[in-house]
Structure 1
Amino acid sequence: MTARAGLRARLPAGLGLNLGVLALLALLVAAPLMTILMQTLDPERIGAWSDVLASPLSRNLFWLPALNTMALGLGVAAGCVLIGGFLAWLVVMTDMPFRGLVGFLATLPFMIPSFATALAWGTVFRNGRVGGGGGLLEGMGIAVPDALAWGMTPTMIVLIAHYYALGFTVIAAALATVNGDLVEAAQMTGASRRRVLFGIVLPVVMPALIAGGSLCFAGAVSNFAAPALLGLPVRMQTLSTRLFGMIEIGQVERGYVLAILLIGLSAVFLALGNRLLAGRRSFATISGKGGRARRFALGRARGPLTALALLICLVTTILPILLLIAASLAPMASSLFSGWTLHFWIGEADPAFARGQAGIFNNPQLLRALTLTVAIGAVVAFLANVIGILVAVALTRHRLRGISEAVSQLSFLPMLLPGIAFGAAYIALYGAPIGPLPALYGTSVLLALALTAAMLPFAVQTGRATVAQISGDIDEAARLTGAGFFRRIGAITLPLASRGLLASLLLCFVNVISDLAIVVLLYTPTTPLLSVLSYRYASDGFHQFANAVTLVILSISTLAAGLATLLRGRNRPWLSS
């Protein structure tokens, strides 16, 4: 007993906790990624690399999808920085009225699933090229060109409308740190507003522009829903849709190669963004002195710019929801505001209507999907936050050189990984038996594990922020009185961090129930989820049912996100002055 106590005394404090969370993160994050890499390097499967990269099939398997993916990512990043930066500048730096409303609306599009925005786009612009009824414009006799109905252009527009909220949030936070005294000093020397904007403000927030653009690029290249709904009908493939297709038809080795290449593409561009950021670290915007906000007077442009900002926000938030509601009630999208019926919601099965499909709330599959989605969302949110708080305590209270860096990197890695590639990695590792453990493919356990790993970055970041606010002296005092680790977590950390953790639980829940990229590869008919059900309805041409299911997801997401916002409080410092 004495020897064991002496050994424990010689070991660094928190070593067991750090090793435990490192092992857990290795199983959840590192092992699946290593598995797909090792499977593609197996002598019997290594030919998949040449099939994808250097064969008669490679043009359609990789090079064209990669080109489309790059064009989509760069276009979305540029569009998000332009729109997000424009709105951030108006909200933070100008005397525009309704700044609070615009600032609130500009953060909402990211809460709306991208497949919801894609469905709303199709409701208006869909044409009859790929069969089925046209959209609202075609019903009004307006010929919609193919380039506006399908393919790269609508996909890019939908993704910009979805991701510009990321750019707005990052850029607005950076603009809020610009000291108004700098702007005032420049104006006193006779500098024009244009010179101040491009000579002072823009260089100062350049790191935020790069960071926001990198995040939007990563989101766009990994997005599955919008390219699938708007691109696949005209055979426009991206790496994410091609990866899904390969695994769906059983060519898993080629799918794993595409997953690795997609991860590598995202990593390269994120690394380039980080390199550019590293070269601009000399910009300091926060000092120890108090600063005053300095707002530009818009003058005669005040009205038009305010109208433009409100229009952008309304078109990307309120309008898609209104279109989805109307489209879930109208028998035909071409007559969107006439002949409304509740059949698609509560109707009985009728062979003469909607090809015999019952309304979603009379569909046992929908009710099963609703129950399973909410249950998995709750379980994943709980598990991710339990792991998140353990990781946060390890990184905040017991940092160990080397181990802590590995824990930090692994906990953040899922944020950088394309969701569909992450799903492929989980199929590779846990889809087959491992020793005495059974195969998990087709079970809700696999869905829960993959989604828990994907939610770790949100849970860990929230956990670190809340744990860092709790004085270490409280924990140390409890330890000296003999309280064990889990006793201190339950009696001290969780009660004091409860507000932030509840918000994190709700945000993880929102992300889980609206996720499609990860679960689209992992679901089976025995494990239906709402997001996949909506996608399948849309793919099969049942757009009204798809819209109705999407509205159910939106209702649950909006309620949970609203509760999370109330718990976190208003965190918009750029509107405080």
Structure 2
Amino acid sequence: MHKPRVSGGEHLLVSLLVLYVAVTTLWPLARLFASAFQPGEDGAPLGLMVATLTGRSTLWALSGTLQTALLSVAVSTLLGVALAFAVSLLKLRTRAALTFLILMPLIVPSQTMALAWIELFGAQSPILKPLGLAPAPGSTNPLYSIGGIALVMGIEHMPLVFIAVRAALRALPADLVEAARILGIPPRRIGTGIVLPIVMPSVLAGSLIAFTAAIGNFGVPALLGIPGRISVLTTLIYQRLNGFGPAAAGQVATLALLLALMAALAILARNLVVTRIAVPLPAGAPFVPRRRAPMTEILLWLVVLILSLVPLAALTMTALLPAIGVAFGPDTVSLDQFRAVLDNQAVRRAFANSLMLAGVTAVISALVAVPLAFLCVRRKNPVLRLLDIVIEAPWVVPGTVVALGMILAFLRPLPLLGVSIYGTMAILIIAYLARFLPLVLRPVAAAAQSADPSLDEAARVAGAGLIRRILSIFLPGILPAAAAGAILVVMTALNELTLSALLWSSGNETIGVMVFALQYEGNSTAAAAVAVLSTLVVLMLAALATAVSRWLPGGTLPWRD
């Protein structure tokens, strides 16, 4: 078979992509890991790492991280598996709406979900207080505990397990289930004795992904753990940097390295589960639900509403009150808090900054993803394969690790320019570019796999240059996927907190930082108003992505079949 000749233009394009990834990803991560291996104060090799890892605060935070993460994984797995089985194996009239609501915790920002649950379970809860179920006035919110953190994180990461199990159930051969029915096996035994063992590798894989997300979560432990004096590694890093600044770089780099190691082990375990334990299924028609269960569908709606909408309703009701402690009622409801936050210059600036950051990140990531996907599909180049792996690193490791790498890499003045971008919007942009590129690259790469290579080869033979072939032949086919990936980036980056909490500076606030700061100051009603406004923006973007989903490759949007 004729092998396409590699042109000088392609060599140049690969070099530019390598330079881009080196600046945004390789150099920051390398700088971070190098800082963790510094000698101690007495000059002992690895002394700083040993001193940090054996410190009481580190062990306490590690214990808190493991406790909250493992408990949250148990919650995520139980809920995700049960909901995936119900949605996939029963004939439901409202499957699409239920699926979207089940995935709502994945769409709504972490700090917004945490704030919503705080308002729901607080002593002044606008929903539980009228029912006589709220905690006594003056008592501590029950969510300010290890169990509370685990519950909220478990619900937030439940969609990760749900997506993995639902994908396995949709690949289940119909013949297998029909054979069991013919033999007279009861539906419950079919589910627990046949289907569950088959999808168990997907259950384990989803649980490991949920564990990775839990150990890197900052929003929930920050809003629930700091008031409850519960330390985890992400909040310990935040507090060390806030207290000591760049002087604590070596210590926090060690803590970040510990987080990265835990995440890497979880990802490795997931890959082993997928490749070694997964059960090969015979080819056949996919299973189509036939059994109607009206009562189960009603019960599903109750569970999903409690998990996804009731906390957001409590958050919205809190935002409509003039102050905390005022009872919710027709005579107290007003839009004053929304007017106040929209008149607040810092809040307006945070919205503008977040929209700018999300938009710039989406556009640049799409511009990088298109040529990278083009080359990865056309060339089996080891450099491109390595590049593809490196690009995933900032997404799979905790965001705290990425943020610390950016601080260490760009704290000093840039070579030749003599200017430091630390404390500027530029460092946030670079961090966002590193973190969110995979969100665009994956759908674009999936669309590129189905492109006809003969069209590009014919254009090359006809003398068309590399850029012209990408823009005229390759781009039109993958443009919907690139647009969808860009929308996903905007949805995710708009309310980002983990990176921003460590990299923001005065004048460069983001929406996530403002929600966290307002709640931390005790201004819960204003924090709720900002969170509600940002959630509305995210939901509008989700609606836009859904509207264009007919032109997208399957699986681009997690809430669409």
**Common fold by TM > 0.5:** yes
Partner of 1:87: 83
1:264 lines up with 2:261 in the alignment: yes
1:237 lines up with 2:237 in the alignment: no
Matches of 1:557 and 1:435, distance apart in 2: 39
Matches of 2:181 and 2:377, distance apart in 1: 44
Matches of 2:559 and 2:178, distance apart in 1: 19
Sequence identity (%): 24
> What SS does structure 1 have at the residue aligned with 2:420?
coil
Mark the CA change 1:442 to 1:340 in structure 2 (over 3 Å): closer, same or farther.
same
1:187 lines up with 2:181 in the alignment: yes
The equivalences for 1:173-322 within 5 A come to 173-250=167-244, 251-281=248-278, 283-285=279-281, 287=283, 289-296=284-291, 302-303=294-295, 305-322=296-313
1:422 lines up with 2:402 in the alignment: yes
Matches of 1:256 and 1:446, distance apart in 2: 18
1:493 lines up with 2:474 in the alignment: yes
Partner of 2:531: 550
> What SS does structure 2 have at the residue aligned with 1:233?
coil
1:477 to 442, 458, 469: 458
1:18 lines up with 2:14 in the alignment: yes
| CA positional deviation for 1:186 | 1.8
Superposed CA deviations along residues 146-197 of structure 1, whole A, max 9, x for unmatched, are 4723121221111122121222122112101111211111222233333322
Q: TM-score, normalised by structure 2?
A: 0.90
Checking the alignment, whether the CA contact within 8 Å between 1:14 and 1:398 is kept in structure 2 is no
| CA positional deviation for 1:263 | 0.8
| CA positional deviation for 1:537 | 0.4
Matches of 1:425 and 1:113, distance apart in 2: 23
Partner of 1:451: 432
| CA positional deviation for 1:343 | 2.5
The one-letter amino acid paired with 1:169 is: I
Checking the alignment, whether the CA contact within 8 Å between 1:88 and 1:168 is kept in structure 2 is yes
Mean CA deviation greater in 472-481 or 255-264 = 472-481
Mark the CA change 1:68 to 1:166 in structure 2 (over 3 Å): closer, same or farther.
same
> What SS does structure 1 have at the residue aligned with 2:162?
helix
1:42 lines up with 2:38 in the alignment: yes
1:331 lines up with 2:338 in the alignment: no
Partner of 2:493: 512
Checking the alignment, whether the CA contact within 8 Å between 1:327 and 1:336 is kept in structure 2 is no
Mean CA deviation greater in 180-189 or 221-230 = 180-189
Checking the alignment, whether the CA contact within 8 Å between 2:83 and 2:162 is kept in structure 1 is yes
The one-letter amino acid paired with 1:432 is: R
The equivalences for 1:402-421 within 5 A come to 402-421=382-401
2:337 to 333, 336, 344: 344
Partner of 1:120: 116
Checking the alignment, whether the CA contact within 8 Å between 2:118 and 2:141 is kept in structure 1 is no
Superposed CA deviations along residues 477-524 of structure 1, whole A, max 9, x for unmatched, are 221222211122222222222211111111101111111111110000
Checking the alignment, whether the CA contact within 8 Å between 2:35 and 2:249 is kept in structure 1 is no
**Runs of at least 5 residues in structure 2 that lack an aligned partner in the other structure:** none
Partner of 1:366: 347
Matches of 1:481 and 1:378, distance apart in 2: 37
Mean CA deviation greater in 320-329 or 38-47 = 38-47
Checking the alignment, whether the CA contact within 8 Å between 1:147 and 1:153 is kept in structure 2 is no
| CA positional deviation for 1:234 | 1.9
> What SS does structure 1 have at the residue aligned with 2:322?
coil
| CA positional deviation for 1:336 | 4.5
The one-letter amino acid paired with 1:436 is: L
| CA positional deviation for 1:329 | 1.7
| CA positional deviation for 1:141 | 8.2
Partner of 1:385: 366
The one-letter amino acid paired with 2:333 is: W
The one-letter amino acid paired with 1:435 is: P
Partner of 1:356: none
**Two-structure CA RMSD over aligned residues (Å):** 2.6
* Number of residues of Structure 1 aligned to a counterpart in Structure 2: 542
Matches of 1:492 and 1:187, distance apart in 2: 50
> What SS does structure 1 have at the residue aligned with 2:142?
helix
Mark the CA change 1:510 to 1:142 in structure 2 (over 3 Å): closer, same or farther.
closer
Matches of 2:140 and 2:299, distance apart in 1: 27
Mark the CA change 1:279 to 1:441 in structure 2 (over 3 Å): closer, same or farther.
same
| CA positional deviation for 1:381 | 0.4
Superposed CA deviations along residues 225-254 of structure 1, whole A, max 9, x for unmatched, are 111111101210111000111111122221
1:461 lines up with 2:442 in the alignment: yes
Mean CA deviation greater in 480-489 or 521-530 = 480-489
Partner of 1:152: 146
> What SS does structure 2 have at the residue aligned with 1:541?
coil
Partner of 2:163: 169
Checking the alignment, whether the CA contact within 8 Å between 2:53 and 2:254 is kept in structure 1 is no
The one-letter amino acid paired with 1:178 is: L
Q: TM-score, normalised by structure 1?
A: 0.88
| CA positional deviation for 1:121 | 1.5
1:566 lines up with 2:547 in the alignment: yes
The one-letter amino acid paired with 1:74 is: L
Mean CA deviation greater in 311-320 or 414-423 = 311-320
| CA positional deviation for 1:117 | 1.5
Checking the alignment, whether the CA contact within 8 Å between 1:214 and 1:269 is kept in structure 2 is yes
